[in-house]
Structure 1
Amino acid sequence: MKLQFLGGVREVGRSAVLVNESLLLDYGMLTGNPPQFPVSAPTPEAVVVSHGHLDHAGVVPALLSGRDRPEIHWTPPTQELALTLARDTLKLQGGSYNCPFTENDVKRVTEVSRTHGYGESFEAAGHEVTLYDAGHIPGSAHVLVDDGETRLLYTADFHTTDQRLVAGTTARPDADVVICESTYADVDHDPRAEVERRFAESVKTTLWEGGTVVVPAFAIGRTQELLLVCAAHDIPCYVDGMGQGVTRMLRRHPDFVRDADALQRAAGHARFVSNPGQRTRIADQNAAIVTTSGMLSGGPAMTYIPQIRGNPVNKITLTGYQVEGTPGRSLLETGSAEIDGRVMPVSARVESYDFSAHADHDGLRAFLQSYENARVLVGHGDRCAAFATELRADGFDATAPELGEIVEH
């Protein structure tokens, strides 16, 4: 089996792995200004997309811009999420970069789309492929690829611990080679129940003091998790941005969430912001506002934060990983954020909560116990080489491929 790593190694973003020059696993972007794309433009016979986040699915429509029309395989939620992201990317692109796909490319996606449930084997570019629940977001999948000689497990993003929205992965299919993510390979998450308790207490304290809490959250997965948390702790909340549409969509796929009834109750508990003109008034409300973008790089959050930033009673609770160079990272490190092109000081309190949907160090090691005899290729992380070194010290055949590298097995 021949593997070429076109992105997503020794970095978090633009995941793309070409298998046997014919089957592409993921095709994402690395968010930034400008964003970065995989290092080459492959022409695969088929594509399998692990899940609907930008760094894995963000530039899939670009694969349809030429004469080739590779089939695209994914779960039903991943298809809908990828299309939502593609339309949003087209809408948001400005003069800073040229979007690598067009509206026509996005329309073509549905023509070549093939959806699959977990555990259903299918043929793609001459390979037998099976998707397994990865426990990351609804519809996320481990991808098992069998070319008749080698069984490859591409973990993509995964979590081994239950979240309110999705249960942790329990799938451990046999494999000869494992491409394993390592986003939090050097971190141990606090117990989720403890993180949730601290978050709820902090938000309730601010509301009791008469303040407003802006909760920047990724639209896909994180927004719905936080709506479930707010409902469980009876925290009054609004939801704004792309997360509204994603929440409605996920309610149409009850088989891909842990508790469909709980998600329905959480959506009913939240107030959906239907009119952007409401935002100024909502910013003065005694409530939590769950809104995109999760890294403050745009979206309604950048309307709410200027409104609440000057009052130290108010609070901004960051709930996800803040990529270096984003306004969210700057806010955490400096207490200031770039808003509408100007760096503004923020007097509101800023807190960070680890609601990660990725396995931590212990979760990764527990998962890999099932693959002690497999070859492990470490990717999707800032310290891939260090984790591979740790694994080798414990007897694993582990390496960390470099960008563009070809690995044969």
Structure 2
Amino acid sequence: MNTKIGIFSFFAGAGFLDLGFETTKGYETLFVNEYHKPFMEIYKSSRKGLKIKEPIFGHNTDDICDFLNEAKTNELQKNINTARTKFDLIGFIGGPPCPDFSVGGKNKGIEGENGKLSGTYIELIVRNSPDFFLFENVKGLYRTKKHRAFFDEMKLKLIENGYYLTEKLINALDFGAPQDRERIILLGFKRNALLEMGMELNGSPFLKSFDWNVKTIYNSKDVLSKEWPKQETYVEDGLKPMPKGIEKKLTVQYWFDKNNVVNHPNSKHYFQPRAGLIKFQSIQEGDDLKKSYKRLHRWRYSPTAAYGNNEVHLHPYKPRRLSAAEALAIQSLPINFVIPEHISLSNMFKTIGNGVPYLAAKGLAETISVFIEKIKNKELKHAEIIS
């Protein structure tokens, strides 16, 4: 990929989404915003371990709403203008906090404090006109009727400000992460950027020619329809051979082995049981249907990595909760992604659960790259009307 793309990241958390872009040729993170300082500390520390250079415009822990005031707007615009002298395209990426659009959270929608941040992010995009943006959120924003109206309003605002859009409800399984996790991804490309790259535009503001599956590895519907093992008796340190007919690389055990979680620096970071050992031993391996205590099955993918709202994920064959090392593996992070040991357990698991699975993030970055290169190579000429 010859196109140089500078990334401005918002709501960065520990940077799982950013890492997908940073490890894809052509991208460089130039600016990082994350309000919660412990998350930013994890972000910065992990990058040192991964030998990724620091963003040239720094790490910022201001409230994103501050970027709508004049001084901050001018500073951000100055940085964007400077970046344009060295990069072919500028992109904004971010996943605003999503509990207000989640059934498992408050479900307050735009009225909730976190819901309002989605609107703030869209306003930030409109005011600063990046060449493209990525917006990530929970499926409730896309599927729930009352939230869908807000989602449609945001899209209309973006279209009115010159963006051509495409959206997809993705599943982390599609990209090889061992987790049944659906998220809505909205992408937008500025009209002028598309024209400058050589795309011929018609009256439709939707990009039907964007291929969302060009970098997927699996079809999640096919994966979910396989005969995966169900609930089995929990046996501490018990052995269970891998059943036939499953996708080994999508299993919890495969990723535990791949990331050598037993010897990972975060292997000892897990919550001690409050309910007592008997409670932990009473739940069968693979019983992940309860609202609170869910025991993963070693030869199956994990449910959505959500470690808040009283949701407790148990180790398949140990009488304890998952360790941070195991949770990072389920989020498909590289083995050398490490969280500093002084970070509180609450902050460790919150940022892990909030993050975009690394393989999904990398797949999205690569998918955007393919789209851009196809336009430049004259393989895509039209923003086709959606039928």
TM-score (normalizing by structure 2) = 0.33
The structure richer in helix per residue is 2
Higher strand fraction: Structure 1 or Structure 2?
1
Higher relative contact order (CA closer than 8 Å, sequence separation 6+): 2
